[in-house]
Amino acid sequence: MPIIDRRTALALVVVLLLACGGSSSGPQTGEELAADFGCLACHTGENTSIAPTWNGLFGSTVELDDGSTVVADEEYIRRSIVDPHAQIVAGYRATMPQFSLTDDEVDLLVQYIQGLGG
């Protein structure tokens, strides 16, 4: 059985990781994360019948389905990501799936949405 040297073994490991999508860095931005999780399919550049847009959301006043309002600050956005059915925006149904995200991933998404202005 042939024996391979360390350099060849390391090269094979790198090739296998890249072929399997095993990049250790993962998404580097909230936008990349939103794209990877499919968020941008529903949260488009404009309000749709499926989901409200994130453009201009941060800092705005959001009307909820129970008639109350809330300011779309970091806390609201974080809660909406972690527990999407806790506060439903008026005119929408509770259709957003719940994801298992790390705190860092939620932070990236909140920063991304914040960066889309208000």
- Position 77 in a domain: yes
**What predicted TM-score, i.e. pTM, was given to this entire model?**
0.75
CATH number at residue 34: 1.10.760.10
Note the pLDDT of residue 74. 97
Q: What is the DSSP letter of 91?
A: T
The number of distinct structural domains making up the chain is 1
Instruction: Tell me if 4 is assigned to some domain.
Output: no
pLDDT at 66: 97
Q: Given this model, what pLDDT does residue 27 score?
A: 65
Q: How far is CA 49 from CA 10, 62, 74, in A?
A: 50, 16, 24
The identity of residue 80, as a single letter, is: S
Question: Is position 64 within any domain?
Answer: yes
Nearest-angstrom CA–CA distance, 113 and 26: 19
Regions of the chain short of the pLDDT cut 50: 1-2, 4-24
* DSSP code at position 42: H
